[in-house]
Structure 1
Amino acid sequence: MKNVKVLVFPCGSEIGLEIHRALKYIRYVDLIGGTSVTDHSRVVYDKIIDNIPFVSEKNFIKKINEVIIKERIDFIIPAMDVVCYYLSKFSEKIHCKIVGHSYETNSICYEKKKTYEYLEEVVRTPKLFSNRNEIHDFPVFLKPNIGYGGIGTKIIHNKTELDNIQNLLDNLLIEFLPGKEYTVDCFTDRNGILLFSNVRERVRIKSGISVNTISVKLPKALEIARKINSKIDFCGAWFFQIKETFEKVLCLMEVAPRISGSSSINRLLGINLPLLSLHVTNDENVQITPNSLNTIEIDRAFDVRFIFEYDKIKNIYVDFDDCLMINKKVNYNLVAFLFKCINEKKKIILLTKHEGDLINSLKISRLENIFDKIIHINKNERKIDFISPMNSLFIDDSYSERKEVIEKLGVLSFSPDVIDGLIR
């Protein structure tokens, strides 16, 4: 593939953030984020196009095409169900290729009721109740016909709760599924062949996203993947979710024509689903050779990125002991930050009171070549006397040193615990 420009929209969704993680190191992909709102993507993506209208707005197609032309976008990767649906619906009006599936496929997957009706002859789907009077046993489950991430879902425990539901028009009442829940990540090539399917249990779920998930061997789930793939016309990455009934039968919950929020687990197997989807959209044949791993687990949490006047900083002063080296081990997160600064043409200065042979210590830790300047002072000298107050950042574990630098020089001073929030 030649060098391409790829717009991810909306880039701040969990899907958009995973696409960034999957593609940011691909040498021939120039990744650009597109967003309608201010969100976490601004501290993740190097380039953001903001104020893009929502897909439901009348001027969306006009505005997105203006972005495509101005930025010379080759591909759009939709990163939300509704965006997948709308972009596929109006694909002929969009001035670049869309990484995704056909409008027919998106239409089947967009509405849960349509999904169940389309697949009920090949896989177990949940029992649907057409009205309240059909329900005699509880609990039952309420979910939006169109939706994602568990938003609007609710367990109905009794008739009183059922009678209190105001809107059933846009919701489905289905049987309650009490058992284990699984996601099956899949990839289908441009010829309709299912090349990959990986089953994982959704162990811990937050806001509809499995923040802890473990790969499992579940042949019956793989058979469901083959049946769904034979029925729906896929091209690229997709996934489905299933859950056990009271009788331990696997029952379909949803099918989505995109990657899942925790599909990053597949990259450990060597399967980069967004990248593979990009290639098949470019009409290329692909091959998949997974790593052989028995069990994979992923655990996720909220991430932290700090926003401040970072661009003004030109000089980085950093300590060695208990900062770059902690308990005789290299602080690799700090080293990653320093290399980020090197890429940004910032000056890196080692300022240390290290006792002993500093050069030898640097060689042993393999850090001898990353500094523009090394300032080795004795324990009676003050670091403040060696720091330029202009456009500088001071990183040191010593509170007293940082206090003096802040109070007397007005220089921004961080302890090592801040560094994780500076890397992106």
Structure 2
Amino acid sequence: MTTRVLVTGAGGPAGVAVIRSLLKRDDLEVFAADMDGWASGLYLVDADHRRIIPPGRRDDFVDAVAALVAADALGLVVSTVDVELVPLSARRDELGAPLAAPSEEALRTCLDKWLLVQACAPHARVPETAVLDDAGVARAWDFPVIVKPRSGAGSRGVHLVADRAALEAEPRDDGWIIQENLPGEEFSVDVFMGRNGRAVSAVPRLRARVDSGVAIAGRTVHRDELERTAEACAAAAGIVGVCNVQLRYDSAGAPALLEINPRFPGAMPLTIAAGVDMPSLAADLALGREIPERVAFAEIANVRFLEDVFVPTTEILAGVEAER
């Protein structure tokens, strides 16, 4: 029996990776959705499987997805967009189909870096962290330090503060945090967690080349300390399914938590090629199917390049004129 799957965020690297993964399965029928009619992933599926949806921040977003579930007889929803995850998870019982995403509580923990540090501190190395208020600024810090927003994706707003005078000059805002600056090499670890709180796989990736925040070249590496730390952090955050744990080595050579992205990363094709097809695992998990207890991965490298998809002009869909 074939299950119809809706993948949202078809214009992003993560959405494209998930669509391509699920298209390989004979038991899944893939529908692709985005707010933008120019989203490249829309054109990886048949014309009658392309959908335009409102931006994830709009009040009618979840209702629109639920309407698609009913109209298209969808059996699974997979979101690959940060801003969509919390509203979808908060109303998952209203969608009419399983949602391949962490719980609302886990999402809120991961998306608030202050809450995340507190959740993970008993289980893994985390950087010294304080809220950017008078008490936080007054603490003894080894400079430079990092100041960053408590919420937000990527590196937006993150900046290095060189000395105490510069820290004292920062505007006090409890929506921001101060963190110890970790000097070592940074790794992204793609983690897949089962419902029993145990990791099915943890795949560390070195981002060898990055362009506009997206890895365009990298390689997977076997390092036990990275895998153990990432698994411990994902478990502490309450993740079920896919997440991306970002780690950086401290001055003593131990990996420490930077953040957890509770979604599919844009570099997911490298993890899939290494032997861990996390989109496929996520589909099976959400559908209540059996998944392996553990999946091993191989060390492999990749380089990325643009790929053109050509379609008749009449097939380009009208998008929603609004920001995500």
TM-score, length-scaled by structure 2: 0.84
Task: Report the 3-state secondary structure (helix = DSSP H, G, I; strand = E; otherwise coil) of the residue aligned with 2:31.
Answer: strand
Task: Report the 3-state secondary structure (helix = DSSP H, G, I; strand = E; otherwise coil) of the residue aligned with 1:117.
Answer: helix
1:358-393 deviation digits (Å, cap 9, x = unpaired): xxxxxxxxxxxxxxxxxxxxxxxxxxxxxxxxxxxx
Task: Report the 3-state secondary structure (helix = DSSP H, G, I; strand = E; otherwise coil) of the residue aligned with 1:56.
Answer: coil
Tell me which amino acid in the other structure corresponds to 2:182.
L
Shift of 1:165: 5.0
Task: Report the 3-state secondary structure (helix = DSSP H, G, I; strand = E; otherwise coil) of the residue aligned with 2:58.
Answer: coil
- Per the alignment, do residues 129 and 189 of structure 1 end up closer, same or farther by CA in structure 2, a change over 3 Å counting? closer
Question: Does the aligned pair in 1 maintain the 2:76–2:287 contact within 8 Å?
Answer: no
Q: Which residue of 1 aligns with 2:33?
A: 34
Of 49, 52, 62, which aligns to 2:51? 49
Question: Does the aligned pair in 2 maintain the 1:81–1:110 contact within 8 Å?
Answer: no
Shift of 1:206: 2.6
Q: Which residue of 1 aligns with 2:191?
A: 186
Tell me which amino acid in the other structure corresponds to 2:13.
E
Task: Report the 3-state secondary structure (helix = DSSP H, G, I; strand = E; otherwise coil) of the residue aligned with 1:275.
Answer: helix
Residue 252 in structure 1 maps to residue 257 in structure 2: yes
Residue 64 in structure 1 maps to residue 69 in structure 2: no
- What's the RMSD between the two structures over aligned residues? 2.6
Report the identity percentage.
Answer: 20
Separation of aligned partners in 1, 2:294 and 2:223: 20
Q: Which residue of 2 aligns with 1:91?
A: 92
Q: Which residue of 2 aligns with 1:127?
A: 128
Q: Which residue of 1 aligns with 2:319?
A: none
Q: Which residue of 1 aligns with 2:320?
A: none
Structure 2 unaligned spans of 5+: 316-324
Greater CA drift, 276-285 or 261-270 = 261-270
- Per the alignment, do residues 166 and 115 of structure 1 end up closer, same or farther by CA in structure 2, a change over 3 Å counting? same
Larger radius of gyration: 1
Separation of aligned partners in 2, 1:128 and 1:91: 33
Of 272, 280, 285, which aligns to 2:277? 272
Separation of aligned partners in 2, 1:138 and 1:44: 49
Tell me which amino acid in the other structure corresponds to 2:213.
G
TM-score, length-scaled by structure 1: 0.66
Q: Which residue of 2 aligns with 1:172?
A: 177
1:63-102 deviation digits (Å, cap 9, x = unpaired): 2222221112111101022222221111122221101222
Q: Which residue of 2 aligns with 1:17?
A: 16
Greater CA drift, 119-128 or 222-231 = 222-231
Q: Which residue of 2 aligns with 1:300?
A: 304
Separation of aligned partners in 1, 2:44 and 2:163: 45
Question: Does the aligned pair in 2 maintain the 1:143–1:172 contact within 8 Å?
Answer: yes
- Per the alignment, do residues 173 and 62 of structure 1 end up closer, same or farther by CA in structure 2, a change over 3 Å counting? same
1:374-413 to 2 correspondences below 5 Å? none
Separation of aligned partners in 2, 1:26 and 1:97: 18
- Per the alignment, do residues 101 and 160 of structure 1 end up closer, same or farther by CA in structure 2, a change over 3 Å counting? same
Q: Which residue of 2 aligns with 1:318?
A: none
Q: Which residue of 2 aligns with 1:109?
A: 110
- Per the alignment, do residues 280 and 243 of structure 1 end up closer, same or farther by CA in structure 2, a change over 3 Å counting? same
Shift of 1:233: 3.3
Tell me which amino acid in the other structure corresponds to 2:229.
I
| Relative contact order, higher structure (CA 8 A, sep 6+) | 2
Question: Does the aligned pair in 2 maintain the 1:151–1:207 contact within 8 Å?
Answer: no
Tell me which amino acid in the other structure corresponds to 1:48.
R
Task: Report the 3-state secondary structure (helix = DSSP H, G, I; strand = E; otherwise coil) of the residue aligned with 1:98.
Answer: coil
Shift of 1:123: 0.8
Task: Report the 3-state secondary structure (helix = DSSP H, G, I; strand = E; otherwise coil) of the residue aligned with 1:266.
Answer: helix
Separation of aligned partners in 2, 1:274 and 1:266: 10
Q: Which residue of 1 aligns with 2:321?
A: none
Structure 1 unaligned spans of 5+: 312-424
Separation of aligned partners in 1, 2:56 and 2:213: 22
Separation of aligned partners in 2, 1:230 and 1:158: 35
Which structure 1 residue ranges, 4+ long, deviate > 6 Å from structure 2?
Answer: none
1:252-279 deviation digits (Å, cap 9, x = unpaired): 0112332222122222233210111111
Question: Does the aligned pair in 2 maintain the 1:10–1:35 contact within 8 Å?
Answer: yes
Tell me which amino acid in the other structure corresponds to 2:91.
F
Q: Which residue of 1 aligns with 2:242?
A: 237
The aligned length equals: 308
Question: Does the aligned pair in 2 maintain the 1:189–1:285 contact within 8 Å?
Answer: no
1:202-351 to 2 correspondences below 5 Å? 202-287=207-292, 293=298, 295-306=299-310, 309=313
- Per the alignment, do residues 192 and 138 of structure 1 end up closer, same or farther by CA in structure 2, a change over 3 Å counting? closer
Question: Does the aligned pair in 1 maintain the 2:281–2:291 contact within 8 Å?
Answer: yes
Separation of aligned partners in 1, 2:260 and 2:245: 4
Shift of 1:161: 5.4
Tell me which amino acid in the other structure corresponds to 2:50.
I
Tell me which amino acid in the other structure corresponds to 1:297.
A
